[in-house]
């Protein structure tokens, strides 16, 4: 099947570079125009070896993808030595961070719900393809003029598996304030890392500030607190109970208990389905239609042989024989050497 709204890569000399629209550690981003069609796109350019490698990685991953929730790559142009250009789809609305600044710095909860659902569709697609984005935040989510949301900036992305086989990686990149605790502890990379970053991005959308901004002002203290404490970033105080529950599912410090993108798409915060209440008065969200079936007593014991400690004390897993006692997603864990790289300054506190 052909790529959606397929565009061909501009030939050398057949495109013009326009004004600067962004920059980062890899290089710069300019608006560009095709001389043959007059169409607009953006070009990411690098003038360093590390930047060229990041752009080549981004192009390689993007060229293997075909989703309305992921920014489209039109091609790559390698120059001599350190020079590299990657041609990408132009998203007229800019990043969610840019848009938020235009509208009082933050989004209403209804808009956060909408954008969160679109981001989740993108993450679900990536994870099925065996790819972890690794640097999800508002600056890396783009908006079209018609309201379409697409994931962008795959310079730190990693492929955990290729055709079902694990792929080894040597480095982890990202922006520390959005990174999952297990990643900062160098315990490996998994799809759950993106879900933690999604929770941080939701906080960013709702408050107009980076996660942890209210709690931490020192970068070193930030990394230590995220990696080693039992705390989570402060949730928006004005959020609904559904929004708070959604954040709790994303920002679960144990990655094995963190919900997957597919499960979160069924959460009331983004799906519109009602929140359920258990016999003990606790709220929970059905992860599937089977999860709404209650046939066991709250006092029953789990008879599952899953061996997962997360079954203990999990009322919902006990009361529902069809519910998985823990997240049984297959995981391909990579234990790379961690270093903080980012498409911009590694930490931002407003």
**How far from chain centre, in Å, is Cα 121?**
10
Contact 298, 319 (CB under 8 A): yes
Residues 116 and 145 reside in one and the same domain? yes
Quote the domain boundaries for residue 43. 15-88
Summarised one tens digit per residue, pLDDT across range 139-191 is: 999 999 889 999 999 989 999 876 555 555 556 788 999 999 999 999 989 99
What is this structure's pTM? 0.77
Please indicate, yes or no, if residue 141 is contained in any of the structural domains.
yes
My answer on whether 55 and 98 are in the same domain is no
User: In Å, what is the CA distance from 63 to each residue of 41, 73, 154, 164?
Assistant: 16, 6, 11, 19
Q: State yes or no: pLDDT of 294 exceeds 60.
A: no
Q: Please check whether residue 1 lies inside any domain of the structure.
A: no
Do residues 29 and 23 lie in contact, with contact meaning Cβ atoms separated by under 8 Å?
yes
Q: Do residue 249 and residue 307 come from a single domain? A: yes
Is residue 179 domain-shared with residue 276, that is, in the same domain? yes
State how far Cα 154 lies from the chain centre.
10
Tokens 């990579």 locate to: 334
Determine, yes or no, domain membership for 10. Answer: no
Torsional sign, CA 118, 120, 122, 124: negative
pLDDT, residue 286, reads 55
SS3 at position 82: coil
In a domain, residue 125? The reply is yes
Q: Which of 63, 88, 113 is the C-terminal boundary of a domain?
A: 88
Residue 267 lies in a domain: yes
Picking from 271, 133, 110, the residue whose alpha carbon sits closest to that of residue 193 is 133
Name residue, tokens 């900062």.
Answer: 184
Widest pairwise Cα distance in the chain = 72
**pLDDT confidence of 219, banded at 50, 70, 90?**
confident
Scanning the chain, the segments in alpha helix (DSSP H) are 49-62, 96-102, 109-128, 181-184, 192-207, 219-228, 241-250, 261-264, 268-271, 315-319
Residues 6+ apart with CB under 8 A from 91: 71, 142, 143, 144, 150, 152
214: confidence class by pLDDT, cuts 50, 70, 90: confident
In a domain, 279, yes or no: yes
Beta strands across the sheet bearing 84-88? 15-24, 27-34, 40-46, 84-88, 73-78
Query: Helix and strand tally (H, E) in the chain?
Result: 10, 16
Task: Give the pLDDT confidence of 311-339 residue by residue, as tens digits.
Answer: 444 433 333 333 333 444 444 444 444 44
Residue 139 resides in a domain = yes
Is 135 an annotated catalytic residue?
A: yes
Instruction: Specify the pLDDT at position 68.
Output: 96
Candidates 5, 135, 218, 305; catalytic one: 135
Domain count, the chain: 2
pLDDT over 60 at 268, yes or no: yes
């Amino acid at each position: 099947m052909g790529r959606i709204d397929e565009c061909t890569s501009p030939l050398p000399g057949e495109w013009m570079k326009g004004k600067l629209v962004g920059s980062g550690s890899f290089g710069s981003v300019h608006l560009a125009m095709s001389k043959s069609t007059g169409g607009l796109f953006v070009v990411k350019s690098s003038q360093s070896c590390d930047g060229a490698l990041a752009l080549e990685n981004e192009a390689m991953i993007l060229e293997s993808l075909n989703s309305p929730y992921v920014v489209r790559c039109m091609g790559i142009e390698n120059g001599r030595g350190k020079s590299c250009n990657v041609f990408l789809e132009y998203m007229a609305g800019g990043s969610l961070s840019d848009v938020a600044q235009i509208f009082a710095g933050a989004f209403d909860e209804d808009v956060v719900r909408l954008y969160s659902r679109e981001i989740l569709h993108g993450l679900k697609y990536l994870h099925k393809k065996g790819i972890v984005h690794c640097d999800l935040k508002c600056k890396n989510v783009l908006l079209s003029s018609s309201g379409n949301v697409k994931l962008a900036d795959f310079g730190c992305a990693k492929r955990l598996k290729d055709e079902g086989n694990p792929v080894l990686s040597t480095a982890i990149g990202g922006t520390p304030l959005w990174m999952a605790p297990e990643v900062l502890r160098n315990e490996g990379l998994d799809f759950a890392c993106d879900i933690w970053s999604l929770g941080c991005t939701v906080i960013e959308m709702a408050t107009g500030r980076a996660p942890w901004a209210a709690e931490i002002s020192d970068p070193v203290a930030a990394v230590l607190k995220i990696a080693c404490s039992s705390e989570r970033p402060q949730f928006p105080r004005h959020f609904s109970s559904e929004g708070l529950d959604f954040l709790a599912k994303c920002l679960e410090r144990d990655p094995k208990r963190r919900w997957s993108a597919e499960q979160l798409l069924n959460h009331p915060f983004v799906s519109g389905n009602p929140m359920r209440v258990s016999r003990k008065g606790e709220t929970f969200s059905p992860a599937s239609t089977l999860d709404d079936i209650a046939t066991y007593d709250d006092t029953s014991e789990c008879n599952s042989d899953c061996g997962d400690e997360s079954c203990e004390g999990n009322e919902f897993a006990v009361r529902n024989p069809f519910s998985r006692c823990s997240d049984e997603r297959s995981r391909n864990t990579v234990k790379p050497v961690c270093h903080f790289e980012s498409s911009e300054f590694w930490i931002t506190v407003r």
